[in-house]
């Protein structure tokens, strides 16, 4: 602890007006070698991709059992930032956030036959009375039964766009690639209820646009590809795919008109674009989102209905819309990271700034104090960086080794009190990750930059 006072119980600590977040107090295994990271995965056997290796090495996740991970503090911060962005996008199109139980009664799944159709992927269990459940892998049944329970809905109240961000459970035949394919993972799932097919198609378009807006804010170039409806069913479906080599999906893309489709939907012998007849190219992708126009497939089974303008009962027209929340985090790292260092979409970086005071030694006291003062100044002067600053107080380590750690964790800005911190005027060394620049700035310069 830098301040030399009695340790307080918070990991935000220190004297003066601001409480400082000290790196040494963050719960995070650090700097694992590749073989150490691999040994953590020994139960499931292999390191299968860059994001999995890096996330283990720098202490973002720890394996708990095959396909299940502990998400450590940095990851949870990034995840919460992602959820806030998703909330903004979903609420901008009228989404209302709900939270449905993960324990999902078997009778709902029997009603749609998916109790049998989903096979071994469904994690099943019984309560003390022998009543059967599954742990929700998705929530079409549950949400449709919920809406159906409301007996006096009028067309004037629709559409309803209900979404949640919760853990989903799937007994994947081969969990791998770290957070990319887990057995327990975070998904945003939205279910929409409209009063006509036209209105439902309009909703479908709006939600797809919201997905595009989300990915563009994240700086991720996704491909919106025509997709198979799979076991969820319906009549129209798109996948949002992030092109990258480790992706498990194969896409056919038309460079001339932009058409793209998951090859699962295509006649595999087709080499020309069905829209413009131009030649198709193939690329691999990670499925980060999936949208379905469901029609009345579920509303007809559970009788989710409303009264129309003529006072007649009508079935709701439904859509469902998934985003792989934890998968997006790992997929972004997969695309943006270098071989050695994690890189985040700017809006998701767990902390924006890491400050590194000098190594403990004869002359460091003044520079350490300068760094602490700079921390407090930034915290005060830049409200949007409130809670976004970490002080790397591991002063038994050299600046160089802490700088290397900071680079591995991918902070957008790293501020070092190096040799020039004790010159007049004091200059800090600032590493800007998005531009790759190294700048020497006075305290005011740092504040301006941030
Ligand atoms: P996949 O083809 O990769 O198995 P899916 O088509 O079975 O995915 P959906 O039912 O469409 O998945 O679920 C919505 C979203 O949830 C997916 O687009 C994906 O981003 C995410 N997702 C699905 N399965 C997993 C998993 N095992 N781990 C992490 N995210 C997942
Ligand atoms: Mg699947
Ligand atoms: Mg799929
Ligand atoms: Mg899918």
Site to substitute for ligand 1 among 208, 218, 290, 323, most atoms within 8 A of C-beta = 290
- Ranges of residues in the chain with a pLDDT under 50 are 1-7, 14-17
pLDDT at 65: 92
What is the CA(141)–ligand 3 centre distance, in A? Answer: 19
Which atom of ligand 1 is closest in space to residue 322's alpha carbon?
14
Which residue owns the Cα nearest ligand 1 atom 14? 322
Q: Taking CB atoms and a 6 Å cutoff, what residues make up the pocket around ligand 1?
A: 138, 170, 172, 181-182, 185, 187, 287-290, 322, 324, 326-327
Determine the pLDDT at residue 7.
Answer: 46
Strand ranges of the sheet holding 124-126, from the earlier edge strand across to the other edge: 103-105, 132-135, 124-126
Q: What is the pLDDT of residue 237?
A: 96
C-alpha 290 – ligand 4 centre gap (Å): 5
Strand partners, 181: 176
pLDDT at 426: 87
Residue 258 Cα to ligand 1 midpoint, Å, equals 24
Rounded Cα distance between 178 and 50, Å, is: 9
Judge contact between 195 and 317, C-beta under 8 A: yes
Atom number of ligand 1 nearest to Cα 137: 10
Give me the pLDDT at residue 5, please: 40
Answer yes or no: pTM beyond 0.90: yes
**Closest ligand (CA of 185):** 1
Testing ligand 1's pocket by substitution, the residue of 137, 167, 170, 324 carrying the most ligand atoms inside 8 A of its CB is: 324
């Amino acid at each position: 602890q830098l301040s030399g006072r009695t340790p307080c119980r918070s990991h935000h600590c220190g004297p003066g007006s601001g409480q400082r977040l000290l790196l040494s107090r963050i719960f995070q295994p650090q700097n694992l070698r590749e073989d150490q990271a691999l040994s953590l995965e020994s139960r499931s056997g292999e390191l299968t991709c860059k994001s999995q290796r890096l996330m283990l090495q720098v202490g973002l996740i720890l394996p708990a059992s095959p396909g299940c991970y502990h998400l450590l503090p940095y990851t949870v911060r990034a995840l919460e930032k992602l959820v806030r962005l998703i909330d903004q996008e979903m609420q901008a199109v009228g989404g209302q956030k709900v939270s449905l139980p993960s324990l999902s009664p078997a009778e709902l799944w029997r009603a749609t036959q998916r109790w049998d159709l989903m096979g071994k992927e469904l994690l099943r269990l019984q309560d003390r009375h022998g009543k059967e459940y599954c742990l929700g892998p998705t929530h079409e049944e549950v949400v449709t039964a919920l809406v159906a329970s409301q007996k006096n809905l009028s067309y004037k109240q629709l559409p309803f766009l209900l979404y949640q961000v919760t853990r989903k459970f799937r007994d994947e035949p081969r969990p791998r690639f770290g957070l990319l394919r887990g057995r327990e993972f975070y998904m945003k799932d939205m279910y929409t209820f409209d009063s006509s097919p036209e209105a439902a198609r309009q909703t479908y378009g709006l939600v797809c646009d919201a997905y595009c807006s989300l990915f563009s804010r994240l700086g991720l170039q996704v491909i919106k590809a025509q997709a198979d409806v799979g076991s969820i069913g319906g009549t129209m479906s798109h996948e949002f795919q992030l092109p990258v080599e480790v992706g498990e999906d194969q896409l056919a893309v038309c460079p001339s008109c932009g058409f793209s489709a998951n090859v699962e939907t295509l006649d595999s012998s087709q080499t020309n674009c069905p829209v413009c007849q131009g030649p198709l190219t193939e690329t691999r992708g990670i499925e980060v989102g999936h949208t379905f126009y469901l029609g009345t497939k579920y509303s007809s089974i559970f009788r989710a209905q409303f009264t129309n303008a003529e006072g007649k009962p009508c079935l709701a027209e439904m859509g469902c819309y998934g985003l792989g929340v934890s998968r997006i985090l790992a997929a972004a790292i997969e695309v943006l990271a270098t071989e050695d260092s994690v890189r985040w979409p700017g809006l998701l970086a767990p902390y924006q700034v890491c400050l590194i005071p000098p190594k403990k030694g004869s002359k460091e006291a003044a520079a350490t104090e300068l760094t602490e003062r700079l921390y407090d100044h930034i915290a005060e002067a830049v409200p949007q960086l409130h809670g976004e600053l970490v002080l790397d107080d591991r002063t038994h380590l050299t600046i160089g080794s802490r700088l290397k750690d900071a680079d591995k964790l991918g902070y957008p800005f790293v501020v070092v009190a190096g040799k020039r911190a004790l010159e007049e005027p004091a200059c800090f060394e600032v590493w800007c990750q998005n531009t790759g620049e190294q700048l020497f700035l006075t305290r005011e310069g740092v504040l301006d930059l941030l």
